[in-house]
Amino acid sequence: MRPNSLKAKLAAGQPVVSGWLSIPSSYSAEIIARQGFDCVNVDLQHGMIGIESAIPMLQAISATDATPIARVGSNDPAIIMKLLDAGAYGIICPMVSSAGDAARFVSACRYPPAGERSFGPARGLLYGGPDYFAHANAEILTMAMIETVAGVENLEEIVAVDGLDALFIGPNDLSLAYGKQPLAEPQDDTVTAAISRVLDAASMVGMPVGIFCSSPAAAARRLAQGFRFVVPGNDAGLLTKAAREALAGARDEAAVSTGQSSRASGY
């Protein structure tokens, strides 16, 4: 089976920078995946992506060196198994609030006797190789999202679940859970303390933690803080920023050429 380089890097304590897709396009997936990200995530939770769009996006990512992963909309074994069968090498599962939630998630990602995943890895065999079944339990990455108060309170039990590989913090929903405004970079003391508690609990058992970030600079700060998996924004955000900068730059250059720069104060 093709080794899961993402899982190997996380296990070795190496930093991972992930691309994040919310636009249902295999073309944009291929563009993002060719930029050098360690992995690229297809977001079926908050992205505008359904399973029919996700499959060609996973195919596009698979043609690059980036590891293809997916975030599901819920802890639903059916969609988890379908994405794994489609060639996803890792699953991010939202709203994991207890050890039971984590165990159900892991079970959907593991073949018996370790779990309850049913057999039928159609594209998994094409991407992973003919010996996929023999090694899938060891290679597929499981990442549980901590974004509720209960999830924070049950951290010690969650990280003890056999087969769970990593945690991922959803800062917006975690902020909402504590009654605060949704922010990718929370400033409230209660929320920042919860984030630190997640990082500390996982570090105690050697489990890597990921987090969504608002910018490349924020991602760099999170890596320095001890996070091992960071997302410096998604495709929609990057496209929006680039488009705004291109538009502003064109208008400023046009103004300069006509002697009417918007940068001049004037009166």
Q: Which residues are catalytic?
A: 46
41 forms beta bridges with: 20, 69
Distance CA 193, CA 32 (A): 33
For residue 163, what are its two tokens?
């087969």
For residue 121, what are its two tokens?
């890895």
Please count the CA atoms within 13 angstroms of the CA of 176 that sit on its side-chain side: 10
Distance CA 210, CA 241 (A): 23
Distance CA 67, CA 7 (A): 9
Task: Kindly report the length of the chain.
Answer: 267
Nearest to 84 by CA among 131, 40, 51, 37: 51
Distance CA 58, CA 53 (A): 9
18 forms beta bridges with: 39
Whole-angstrom CA distances from 170 to 58, 83, 131, 174 are: 23, 21, 35, 6
